[in-house]
């Protein structure tokens, strides 16, 4: 007979995005009473809410900012609060709930409590983590390991937990997880088997406020990992080397470049080494950019920890293609190449994109500006573009910054991405440029749900233009 008190307990999920939906379904599958609170209200959310209600999950669309009063009807009955990563962990309502000793956790931690018996690779960093995550998943799958991928990309971790519970006879060998700072700060119990730190540059400071806080959040994941892998080519990580927990280091330069010898490195001829053992040539990787050689070494280091031999790694790498929205090649129109780099949501990532596409180019940029050193980005624009087309909320601000910096290329500001793309084609023809690169250096939320939606829209625009022309 069930305990009446137990049956009265309720689990409240905050946020009706992918993570929130998956968390709610996971809890419901375990026989829990579940309520979802979402502060927004629109037709799409109403449709999702109605679908969940048909599955026995109650949803309240608040249509107003989250407030402690929203929880009043259930105080004394709340078993846990599950927080989606889009909600600030330091939100005043969450702080007040924690002061009442109410169990508050991130969606990733909820899932982790059910998956922590499975070996895992946790990848974090400002840039590069999506490529590393996808590349590792690709290698593990091709080497006959039952692997799933999720977290900040792919599936929500709660969905993996739900699928794992329903397919207990097919136990996963590995889980590959991309973990953002938002997910890490709400999930202090998460401790991967292998932790990878790709890069570290200022990002998300509008939420974390200062670089030290952002660094500590990233570091907390690596500290709890059994095996740690770092990037020596990242200046900030390299400067902190003596203060970080011991681990494996990679670097694409000659060993003599560093004050320490990286464990995985590339010689002048392009051969990859594991300490002094030659593995294979870096040309096995078919996607461009020096940053992708760093990503490759991080992946090799992790794959070797998993137990995959270097010949199998090389064979798997050879078939890896660029991931959607990260320097994704879309095709040509009359010798004009198009690249979708919508995932470049900060200046550092956009600088990497600008350096990777070496032919004369026109840049498409804009969106919501983040804190960071925009002067470095502007300097790179001045060095490597013949013109720039700006769109979205930050367009005019970026234009003024470029003018102050005496940018010699053409500058055009448009309202939206479609207008900007058409303008960039005209500009490319006028300036005899060979490529158009969408690398926004800004978040997408002024005009899109996420960078994927922005990138998909760009691909659609380009495809339609190719069809017409």
pLDDT single digits (tens) 131-168:
999 999 999 999 999 999 999 888 999 999 999 998 76
pLDDT single digits (tens) 119-140:
999 999 988 899 999 999 999 9
Residue 169 has pLDDT above 70, yes or no: no
What superfamily does domain 114-318 belong to in CATH? Answer: Mur-like, catalytic domain (3.40.1190.10)
DSSP-derived letter for residue 322 is P
DSSP-derived letter for residue 339 is E
Residues 360, 432: contact at Cβ < 8 Å?
yes
Residue 418 has pLDDT above 80, yes or no: yes
Question: What integer is the mean pLDDT of 104-111?
Answer: 96
Residue 299 has pLDDT above 80, yes or no: yes
Q: Is 265 helix (H, G, I), strand (E, B) or coil?
A: strand
Domain range 9-102, CATH architecture: 3-Layer(aba) Sandwich (3.40)
Distances in whole angstroms, Cα of residue 420 to Cα of each of 123, 292, 388: 34, 28, 9
Q: Does domain 328-468 have CATH number 3.90.190.20?
A: yes
What are the residues whose beta carbons fall under 8 Å from the beta carbon of 239, sequence distance 6 or more? none
How would DSSP label each residue in 222-246? HHH-SEEEEETTSHHHHHTGGGSPP
Q: What is the pLDDT of residue 202?
A: 53
328-333 and 336-340 beta bridge pairing = antiparallel
Q: What is the pLDDT of residue 2?
A: 39
Residue 4 has pLDDT above 60, yes or no: no
Q: List the single range of 134-148, 150-164, 201-215, 452-466 with lowest mean pLDDT.
A: 201-215
For CA atoms 358, 361, 364, 366, the dihedral sign is: positive
The ranges assigned to domains in the chain are 9-102, 114-318, 328-468
pLDDT single digits (tens) 59-79:
999 999 999 999 999 999 999
DSSP-derived letter for residue 135 is H
What are the residues whose beta carbons fall under 8 Å from the beta carbon of 353, sequence distance 6 or more? 327, 339, 341, 344, 437, 439
* pTM exceeds 0.85: no
Question: What is the percent of the chain where pLDDT is above 90?
Answer: 77
């Amino acid at each position: 007979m069930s305990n009446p008190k137990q049956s009265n307990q309720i689990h409240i999920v905050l946020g009706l995005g992918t993570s929130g939906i998956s968390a709610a379904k996971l809890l419901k599958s375990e026989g829990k009473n579940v309520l979802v609170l979402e502060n927004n209200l629109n037709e799409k959310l109403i449709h999702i809410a109605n679908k969940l209600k048909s599955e026995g999950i109650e949803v309240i669309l608040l249509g107003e900012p989250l407030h402690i009063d929203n929880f009043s009807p259930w105080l004394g009955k709340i078993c846990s609060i599950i927080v989606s990563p889009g909600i600030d962990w330091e939100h005043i309502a969450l702080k007040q709930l924690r002061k009442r000793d109410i169990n508050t956790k991130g969606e990733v931690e909820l899932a982790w409590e059910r998956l922590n018996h499975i070996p895992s690779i946790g990848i974090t960093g400002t840039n590069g983590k999506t490529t590393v995550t996808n590349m590792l998943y690709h290698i593990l799958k091709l080497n006959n390991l039952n692997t799933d991928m999720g977290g900040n990309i792919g599936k929500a971790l709660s969905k993996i937990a739900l699928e794992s519970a329903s397919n207990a006879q097919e136990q996963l060998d590995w889980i590959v997880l991309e973990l953002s700072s938002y997910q890490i700060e709400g999930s202090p119990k998460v401790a991967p088997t292998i932790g990878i730190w790709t890069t570290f540059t200022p990002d998300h400071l509008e939420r974390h406020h200062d670089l030290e806080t952002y660094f500590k959040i990233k570091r907390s994941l690596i500290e709890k990992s059994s095996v740690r892998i770092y990037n020596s080519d990242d200046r900030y990580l390299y400067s902190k080397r003596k203060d970080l927990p011991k681990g494996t280091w990679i670097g694409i330069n000659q060993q003599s470049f560093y004050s320490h010898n990286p464990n995985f490195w590339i010689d002048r001829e392009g051969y990859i080494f594991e300490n002094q053992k030659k593995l294979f040539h870096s040309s096995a990787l078919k996607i461009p950019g020096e940053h992708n050689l760093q990503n490759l070494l991080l992946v090799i280091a992790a794959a070797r920890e998993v137990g995959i031999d270097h010949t199998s790694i090389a064979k798997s790498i050879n078939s890896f293609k660029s991931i959607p929205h990260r320097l994704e090649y879309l095709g040509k129109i009359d010798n004009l190449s198009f690249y979708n780099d919508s995932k470049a949501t900060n200046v550092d990532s956009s600088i990497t994109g600008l350096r990777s596409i070496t032919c004369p180019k026109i840049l498409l940029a804009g969106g919501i500006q983040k804190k960071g050193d925009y002067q470095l980005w502007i300097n790179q624009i001045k060095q490597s573009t013949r013109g720039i087309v700006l769109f979205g909320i930050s367009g005019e601000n970026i234009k003024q910054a470029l003018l102050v910096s005496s940018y010699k290329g053409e500058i055009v500001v448009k309202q939206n991405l479609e207008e900007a793309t058409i303008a960039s084609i005209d500009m490319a023809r006028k300036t005899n440029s060979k490529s158009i690169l969408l690398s926004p250096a800004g978040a997408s939320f002024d005009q899109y749900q996420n960078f994927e939606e922005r990138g998909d829209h760009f691909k659609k625009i380009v495809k339609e233009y190719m069809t017409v022309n």
